[in-house]
Chain A
Amino acid sequence: MDAYLAAIAIIALIYVLLSLGLTLQYGLTGLINFGHVGFFAIGAYTSALLALKGVPLILTFPAAAVLAGLSAWPIGLVSLRLRDDYFAIVTLGFSEVVRIVITSEKWLTNGVQGVPGIPRLFEGLQGFAAQAATLAVILAVTIVAVWMILRIAKSPFGRLIEAIRDNEEAVKALGKDPASFKIQVLIVGAAIAGVAGAFYAHYITYIVPDQFIPLVTFYVWMAVIMGGVGRVSGAVVGAAILMVFLEGSRFLRDIVPWISEVDMASVRIGVVGLLLILFVMFRPQGLMGDYTKR
């Protein structure tokens, strides 16, 4: 039971990290990043492949962050001067292309067969101790990320990106170039997603392209929208609810055994779709949202 709870907590914290990246990008800056899973995938594959080459994990995690962040840079350069909705399409396309590349480049990623045998964090420790240590590390990283984003939100930089979200024209009129700030935000958010990907790869120890479908992006969107857009607490609460939903739908199968596993996948997608619609329509500020504004 302890092991099970620890496993859930680790996966939940991975989703918290992803949600924090999106909160920075969408919640604070207003960037409609529909390709979050692409940065997650780059982080996962980077760290996994480097680790299998014998690079110590203390180096592969920063590498995952750097590569995921760097991959966001050209996307930002190309598309951040475009309108919001075009940016959404471009990022969605980017994540699909990432998946196509990791599916096709078999020499690097082993294609659809995936990368097995990725070393765990704390290989030296036995059983539950390794899991508890992993949990402690990811918790520490998450707390640092939360602290960092709270600091960013309160800083002059944070006020500026929120101003970009609320009125880009006004920011331009004040002589600031929104595009350069947006690129920075995009890169930082992508780097956080990359770290989340590295944790994921080393925890699951086996990654295939099918784990990085756009549905994951919209799990994170669902978490951010449910929790409350632009609130750091919302990202945490939203990811927790998401985890309860994902795990709960597994237990539902025990109660209603006549639903097959593939049907359950459909039901899950349907519920995600429905929740996205309902929250956007009836509760756009989310559960932890600002109850005084709007």
Chain B
Amino acid sequence: MFYAQLLVNGLVQGLVIGLAALSITLVFGIARFPNAATGDAMTLGGYSALAAFKATGSMALGGVAAFLATAVVSLLAYLAVFRQLANRSVVSLLVASIGVAFFIRAVLGVTFGHAQQVFMAPLSRPYVLGGVRITPLDLQLAAVAAIALAAVFGLLYFTPIGRQMRAVADNRDLARVSGVRPGRVMVALWLLAGGVAGVGGMMLGVKTIVSPESGWEMLLPAFTAAILGGIGSPGGAVLAGLLLGVAQEASTPFVGFTYKIALAFVIMLAVLLVRPRGLFGRVEGAR
């Protein structure tokens, strides 16, 4: 029963990691670099959702605000920075993404202060299913995440722009020869990747706290999930996020709370050693 409870907690935590990993894997697959600004984009999502939640009291509107604000800021970061570096080495993009991350964090820190903030969600009686407690809040969050995921996967697999995005991820040159316009694909990519990270950031904020550093801490688990799922595989990223969330919760009784992130690191190393292309990645992979 104790473990069933951990499983439920892990799934909620896993959705946060999964959303962040989805954002990373989309950018990694299409724009071809690991975006270190993903964590701080999540922080932005957390603050945006918090502001909307305080104003309206609605968790759903918080999710919408998080999605929109983070999508717009991601697009701006692309237009101002990443687009200019598109033909440069991966180091340039990587270092620039660190720069973007720090800049977002600084702006958030100055705007909202450094005090930890929390979502004052009304307390409610948890549902008890066979001894496992599930709070309505968790269900709401899971619903918001499910809607965001459904929207992303719907867009990726059932719309022309989604098909083009997958084509660019698959083979950039071939996509271009086939008449895919990379500019539009990149705009769609950054809106989507940003929005998803924002929703993840809102969930993180609701489950824990919102502070200028909170999102950065998720970067390592998110990278781990993206690698475990296979870079460029959206479904793999979400699944790996859920797996990692459950693994982290299940390990807590044994290794303690603080080593959760270290566990993600160990899993990352193991995946890179044993199967660098991850669960569903392409063979070109990591080597």
Binding site for B on A (CB under 8 A): 30, 32, 34, 78-79, 81-86, 88-90, 92-94, 96-97, 100-101, 103-104, 214-215, 218, 221, 225, 262-263, 265-277, 280-281, 284
Which one of B5-13, B91-99, B132-140 is at the A interface?
B91-99
Evaluate contact between B81 and A281: CB separation under 8 angstroms: yes
A263 and B110: CB pair below 8 A? yes
Considering only residues 248-272 of chain B, those with a C-beta below 8 Å from chain A are 256, 258-259, 261-262, 264-265, 268-269, 272
Q: Is the CB of A85 within 8 A of B262?
A: no
Query: Could you tell me the distance in whole angstroms from the C-beta of B81 to the nearest C-beta in chain A?
Result: 6
CB–CB A273/B98 < 8 A: yes
Query: Is A79 in contact with B272, judged by CB distance below 8 angstroms?
Result: yes
Segment of B54-62, B100-108, B151-159, B198-206 engaged in the interface with chain A:
B100-108
Known: A82-B272, A85-B94, A280-B92. A272 touches B110 (CB 8 A): no
Q: When the two chains form their complex, are residues B94 and A82 in contact, meaning their CB atoms are under 8 A apart?
A: no
Which chain A residues border B126 with CB–CB below 8 Å? Answer: none
Q: A79-B272, A266-B212 are in contact. Are A281 and B85 (CB under 8 A)?
A: yes
B268, A273: Cβ atoms closer than 8 Å: no
Expressed in whole angstroms, the Cα–Cα distance for A276 and B101 within the complex equals: 11
Known: A218-B102, A276-B99. A85 touches B265 (CB 8 A): no
B286 close to A277 (CB less than 8 A): no
Give CA–CA (A104, B257) in the complex, Å.
10
A32–B91 CB distance below 8 A: yes
Q: Given A32-B91, A82-B286, are A273 and B100 also a contact pair (CB < 8 Å)?
A: yes
Contacts across chains A and B counted by CB atoms under 8 Å: 132
Q: Are B105 and A266 in contact (CB under 8 A)?
A: yes
Q: Which residues of B contact A272 (CB under 8 A)?
A: 99, 102
Write the nearest CB–CB distance from B86 to chain A, whole angstroms. Answer: 12
Residues of B contacting A89 in the complex (Cβ-Cβ under 8 angstroms): 34, 223, 227, 268
* B90 part of interface (Cβ distance < 8 Å): yes
The distance from the CB of B221 to the nearest CB of chain A, in whole angstroms, is: 10
| Contacting residues, chain B, for A79 (C-beta < 8 A) | 269, 272
Residues of B within 8 A of A34 (CB): 94, 98
- Point out the residue from A266, A276, A280 that lies within 8 Å of B110, measured CB to CB: A266
CB of A82 within 8 A of CB of B287, answer: yes
Q: How far is the CB of A271 from chain B (nearest CB, A)?
A: 8
| Residues B272 and A225 in contact, CB atoms below 8 Å apart | no
How near does chain B come to A56, taking the closest CB pair, in angstroms? Answer: 33
Q: How far is the CA of A1 from the CA of B278 in the complex (A)?
A: 58
Contact of B94 with A273 in the complex, beta carbons under 8 Å: no
B229 shortest CB reach to chain A, Å: 14
Q: Does B282 have its Cβ within 8 Å of any Cβ on chain A?
A: no
Q: How far is the CA of A93 from the CA of B265 in the complex (A)?
A: 6
Interface residues of B in 61-106 (CB under 8 A from A): 81, 84-85, 88, 90-92, 94-96, 98-106
Query: Most A CB atoms within 10 A — which of B88, B102, B223, B256?
Result: B102
Question: A86 — which chain B residues lie within 8 A by C-beta?
Answer: 34, 227, 272, 276, 286
Does B95 lie within 8 Å of A104, measured CB to CB?
no
Residue of A nearest to B217 (CB): A96
Residues from chain B with a CB closer than 8 A to the CB of A214 are 216
Chain B residue numbers with a CB within 8 Å of A83 are: 286-287
Name the residue of chain A whose CB is nearest to the CB of B110. A266
> In the bound complex, do residue B103 and residue A270 qualify as a contact, i.e. CB atoms below 8 Å apart?
yes
Interface string of B107-130 (1 = CB under 8 A from A): 101100110000000000000000
A246–B125 Cα distance when bound, in Å, is 51
- A to B CB contacts below 8 Å, 5 in the list: A86-B34, A215-B102, A221-B98, A276-B98, A277-B103
